Structure 1
Amino acid sequence: MKLLIITLLFLSNLFSSEYASSKVGVKPVDNELYKNECSACHFDYQPGLLPSKSWKKIMSNLENHFDTDASLDNEDFQTISEYLEKNSAEKAMNYKRSRRIVNSIASNEIPQSITKVRYIIKKHNEIRPSLITQKEVKGLFNCTACHTTAQKGIYSERDIIIPNFGRWED
């Protein structure tokens, strides 16, 4: 009887965590240093939105980070680099968007930004370019302009509200 109860508890925890990660597209950011440093200038993108090879490339050129000097001291650089590596898309395959992102990237490809990932481009191809480039959105890089639950790692279509357009429905 004890074994049955332990087994049921184990399965319950397993399925509840799988269910939770299936609702969340990517693991939410849970590193305060990363959050503070990166969100000072832009949305703190979840590490699961890019593979580790992309994060390494981005981190290797912080002095020219999208035309801004985002250099860090060595300790912060190490901490953030390790966080990105540990939580990159290929390490977060139990999250559906991370899994789809990894599957969309060729083995010899190193996207240098989230907007260069084939999966991300494909998910936005039905949206008129003028809605993406309008001043309230600015570009595909500005996730929170339309994805109302992006901070939580949820990018579902039912949570999209495009400025000057409204709710997105496929």
Structure 2
Amino acid sequence: MTIRTLTLALCVLPFTLTATLADDDGEEGRRAAIVVTDPTTKEECSACHIAYPAAFLPARSWQALMSDLPNHFGEDASLDDRTRADIEAYLVANAADGGRSLRGVAETDTPLRISELAWFKREHSDEVTPRMMEKAKSMANCAACHTGAERGNFDDD
């Protein structure tokens, strides 16, 4: 492997593991890890939907979601106390704010749906057709259009 090839690989690799969260005016925001690495979180959350990357919501949102699992968007997603606490700890530790604010979300807001965030709406406003929605059934079904979502690849497929 040449120095040039190695340098290129090291430059490209971070972009395969991260996604850009843009702020409200469309400028590039900070990069956030978008692969769920905790096995318990991945297993439990993936039982019903993709395990959403913790970096998509602020810590307070994950805390609110995890505190009311019996009423999880119309479903009972209850877990034993230990599992719930472990998942919440992982989500909070890897949340969007991580000591910083999530662009476009006031510090007093606690969004519960990723699909309601400004960056999500902006990313999907011009590209989601009625046919795509028929296939996906919900904006929460990332994997219907982003076949690499489970691996952290949310590029257009």
- Give the TM-score normalised by structure 1: 0.71
1:53 partnered with 2:52: no
For 1:92 and 1:141, locate their aligned partners in 2 and report how far apart those are by CA, in whole Å.
Answer: 26
Larger radius of gyration, structure 1 or 2?
1
Give the counterpart letter for 1:142 in structure 2: N
Higher normalized helix content (fraction of residues): 1
1:74 partnered with 2:67: no
The unaligned stretches of length 5 or more in structure 2 are 1-5, 20-32
Shift of 1:132: 4.2
Higher normalized strand content (fraction of residues): 2
Shift of 1:128: 4.3
Give the counterpart letter for 1:66 in structure 2: F
Aligned residues: 137
Shift of 1:66: 0.8
Q: From the superposition, tell whether residues 32 and 20 of structure 1 become closer, same or farther in structure 2 (CA, over 3 Å).
A: same
1:41 partnered with 2:48: yes
Give the counterpart letter for 2:83 in structure 1: D
- Give the TM-score normalised by structure 2: 0.76
Shift of 1:127: 2.5
Which residue in the other structure is 1:9 paired with? none
For 2:49 and 2:128, locate their aligned partners in 1 and report how far apart those are by CA, in whole Å.
Answer: 23
Residue pair 1:48, 1:89 contacting (<8 A) in 2 also: yes
Percent of aligned positions that are identical: 31
Moved over 6 A (4+): none
Which residue in the other structure is 2:152 paired with? 153
The unaligned stretches of length 5 or more in structure 1 are 1-11, 94-98, 161-170
